[in-house]
Amino acid sequence: MTSERNPTRRILADGRQIFYFDDAGRFRARTARDSRELPALDHSSRMRFDVLTGEWITMASHRMTRTHLPSAADCPLCPTNETRTPTEIPESDYDVAVFENRFPSFASAPGDAAHSPGDDDPSDRPAVGHCEVMCFSSDHTASVAELPLERMRTIVGAWISRTEELSADPDVEQMFCFENRGEEIGVTLTHPHGQIYAYPYVTSRTRSMLTQAGKHFERTGRSLLADVLAFEREDGTRLIYDGDHWTAYVPTAARWPIEVHLAPHRDVPDLPSLNDEEREELAVVYQDLLRRVDRFYPGVDRVPYIAAWHQAPVRMDRALGRLHLQLFSILRAPGKLKYLAGSESAMGAWVNDTLPEAVAARLRELK
């Protein structure tokens, strides 16, 4: 697997960037122009600090007007052709396309607006950052699990490329690559796609993990996530996959009905730090896990899921972070969802209806 895949960069009608990543051996010139008349990008998102929890809350009211469950004929993520209205992707075909979100929660403010001298309230400031959409295929009905392996390699390369570039922005503190699949999750566009967030702060979940990792390091001098991985590999009860470079397991304290963590054997802070062998195995095992999750419930063809990459922060406590994937589903049985009700939503006190060991046993048998 090549260590780097340079995208073709183009500009959309409102000035946003779009990046085309081609499968190996399929480079194509990209000459199509975006013929739409679009309003300027809305940079009005604000962040407010919740003094009760120590968390940043983003206010992005312009997102109320974003596209919501359009028909396949009106999908904005399909390629543009002579039979459909121009979409977010001007080309008539693509392998993987990444573009700046038209309705971003975080965006680069024009000029020096992000650091206006009038912004003297540190608890209420512009939500500066990046939000990108990654389309995994031009096929509206495709699933990442069933894409060709070469396409999965391209997806891994795109995650790495965008993480590298966006991490170089001095306003960015944390990178997050993820996929939401299924209307049950809250997906508003059914075309196979994921997103990339570049946050201007370190998220509360990551801060909590860094705190635990820091305490563990003070006690032992070792990495907490590395020790968790070693424990799971030795115990074996919750193990799903143990390869040359990666291991997948159901965490001991899983929160969700189906939850899998995938971690590299080497201490790696983020996706760009993976070597060629690790990237190659990742492409294989990632799709394998998605296929197992899809087959978890008899009679359910496509299980809704979130696939979330946890990467070390760009600057803060970077040595305490360790790359891993969290793959989970809110489907607890066919036709039944795990809702975050009073205990989880109000108190953050989780109750799981399934045993991690039973989930792992089921996933192991789905080879």
Instruction: Give me the active site residues, please.
Output: 193
Enter the tokens of residue 192: 């196979």
Strand order in the sheet with 46-50: 55-59, 46-50, 124-126
Coil, strand, or helix at residue 294? helix
Q: How far apart are CA 164 and CA 173, in angstroms?
A: 13
- For 40, residues 6+ apart whose C-beta sits below 8 A from its C-beta are 14, 15
Q: Name the helix (H) or strand (E) containing 229.
A: helix 224-235
- At residue 20, what is the residue type? Y
- For 17, residues 6+ apart whose C-beta sits below 8 A from its C-beta are 9, 10, 11, 99, 100
- For 251, residues 6+ apart whose C-beta sits below 8 A from its C-beta are 228, 232, 238, 259, 261, 356
Q: Which of the 8 DSSP states describes residue 365?
A: H
Coil, strand, or helix at residue 17? strand
Tell me how far CA of residue 125 lies from CA of 45, 54, 201, 310, 341, in angstroms. Answer: 9, 15, 12, 25, 31
